[in-house]
Structure 1
């Protein structure tokens, strides 16, 4: 069976089981998906056991017919991503629940692979791991390359971290996941991470924070993504790299001066800012960019020039090839690749 047909079949069967669960148990699609992931992981769920025998048999048989376990890890990731995207749309979940698209994940992965030395043991953190698609994309690519890496994920939403845990288990990935608020009570990962990736949530942080965050504004609430950028820099080892998906207008907001002041005060190396095609976003105001920031120390230097660019559309094959070549030269020139 061609790859796309196998993926399509798995998606349809999983969605059929999910729909049956949502209807019979009268629960949202996202909760039904958690039960599907548990069933695929051969775990019993109390809610599943409430179903009558005929419904349980239908769901087990449907998931068996999905042939999910015969797929490659990357095919499994694609299936899970597409089912997640459909689930988010069905439940009309807020923007911060959205899955990081592959067109963005591939660029994050490109820079991670360039930066990390495959001959050395590395530590990678996703500080807002969500449903786990971005970390899975990076993990599978490094695994295929043969890297020895420890993966960490932090997430404050219990539904999302439950999904991330299920995704990791189904893909055979070993992640150290913490269900915590990364800003308030994250475990001590200070000065340890070689790379931190994140698709940062956008909005205002609603809680009072302990003194010490330089990006906090004096009046009103602070942008949560500014605070998380500061937290990311704390977790990186000297010379470590942050690859953070941020609003494309990051440096145009009224709080941008506070963020830039923090960069200056701590000597943070602002290495690059790569905007993604507007076509990836339904609302141009919600467009994103990839921020490359490096912690001073080790062999880190300020990039010359800072990489300010716009990534080509996914379908522009020649432009993407040229862009990759341009990036590889820039990374090499600025000691950001191995």
Structure 2
């Protein structure tokens, strides 16, 4: 994985210097070249010395002998390096430990399904979505990713192609109409903040009566629209979401359209500031066979590095799925 990251990093740096683009743009371009097996940038082909060097670098690395997880993690490291240079606040990646834990939850939820469709309406670079794909063996999985940032969606496409995952990406406002059918599962690290399009927000039940609406609330409502009856939704939500003026409206909406399956608070040590702390919110859209759980899964997760405590938590969650979720999916 480290040698793969080094390969991406070195070739991206060469492209960055030659084309005078951002490092993140260069990571995308080198990912495209690696996937296609040829150098696609005409400006580079006109530089004989550079094109020969890049070609030699690309040919020296055999992607076929790498696992999808190695490809994901190495490419993720290059993207993280580029994000340190970027100033946009939304250039944030879901921590790997969280992605893997969400993957575990999804595998438990969907144990009875052989065919699965997944939507991430704020897909970013597709790190969370492709991590899910890599931890759902034996299933026929299709995915959809929505991302408004054109650079992030290009990185997501390159990321998914290198891992050979069947994912369609849409470069658009996720709160506009989506051109997809309802899915079995929505997974999303919710964008937190205010949604600037007051006209479009009027079509949402969770719109604010004055001023901008809360984007993370609208994303939850939009996700319910594109989830099949009985389908599941997993959100990474700010802990502060359950406080404030809009909290009751959100609670009423969820009560009307879904069932709360669980709320798992992530360790506060994962976040630089306590007010940025998040939880994993597990929901199910109402449907003919959906039942209220006898007891929702509520817990504060231990630090992921605490192996013994995590093993105990996993046993508790496994038991909860065995008693509450068996046969529902």
Name the TM-score class by shorter chain: over 0.9
Q: Does 1:91 align with 2:86?
A: yes
Contact 2:120 2:146 in 1 (8 A): yes
Partner Cα distance (1:308, 1:283) in 2: 23
Q: Does 1:148 align with 2:148?
A: no
What SS does the corresponding residue of 1:238 show, helix, strand or coil? strand
What SS does the corresponding residue of 2:195 show, helix, strand or coil? coil
Q: Does 1:221 align with 2:212?
A: yes
Residue 52 of structure 2 is matched in structure 1 by 57
Contact 1:125 1:195 in 2 (8 A): yes
Change in Cα spacing, 1:51 to 1:302, as seen in structure 2 (3 Å) is farther
What SS does the corresponding residue of 1:146 show, helix, strand or coil? coil
Q: CA deviation at 1:48?
A: 4.8
Q: CA deviation at 1:22?
A: 1.6
Change in Cα spacing, 1:226 to 1:52, as seen in structure 2 (3 Å) is same
Q: Does 1:102 align with 2:96?
A: yes
Q: CA deviation at 1:328?
A: 1.4
Q: Does 1:23 align with 2:17?
A: yes
Residue 155 of structure 2 is matched in structure 1 by 163
Residue by residue over 1:47-68, the C-alpha shift from the partner in whole angstroms, topping out at 9 and shown as x without a partner, is 6536622122222323444544
Deviates more, 1:306-315 or 1:38-47: 38-47
Change in Cα spacing, 1:282 to 1:69, as seen in structure 2 (3 Å) is farther
Residue 235 of structure 1 is matched in structure 2 by 226
Contact 2:261 2:297 in 1 (8 A): yes
Residue 13 of structure 1 is matched in structure 2 by 7
Residue 286 of structure 2 is matched in structure 1 by 296
Which of 222, 243, 258 is equivalent to 1:252?
243
Change in Cα spacing, 1:251 to 1:336, as seen in structure 2 (3 Å) is farther
Gaps of 5+ in 1: 1-6
Partner Cα distance (1:50, 1:93) in 2: 32
The Cα RMSD (Å) is 2.0
Q: CA deviation at 1:10?
A: 1.6
TM-score, normalised by the number of residues in structure 1:
0.90
Change in Cα spacing, 1:47 to 1:133, as seen in structure 2 (3 Å) is farther
Partner Cα distance (1:288, 1:98) in 2: 14
Which of 139, 164, 168 is equivalent to 1:172?
164
Partner Cα distance (2:278, 2:42) in 1: 38
Q: CA deviation at 1:111?
A: 1.5
Residue 3 of structure 1 is matched in structure 2 by none
Q: How many equivalent residue pairs?
A: 326
Partner Cα distance (2:64, 2:50) in 1: 22
Q: CA deviation at 1:36?
A: 0.9
Q: CA deviation at 1:305?
A: 2.2
Contact 1:25 1:47 in 2 (8 A): no
Contact 1:237 1:295 in 2 (8 A): yes
Deviates more, 1:208-217 or 1:323-332: 208-217
Deviates more, 1:104-113 or 1:266-275: 266-275
TM-score, normalised by the number of residues in structure 2:
0.92
Q: Does 1:335 align with 2:329?
A: no
Which of 120, 125, 128 is equivalent to 2:119?
125
Change in Cα spacing, 1:62 to 1:253, as seen in structure 2 (3 Å) is farther
Contact 1:14 1:66 in 2 (8 A): no
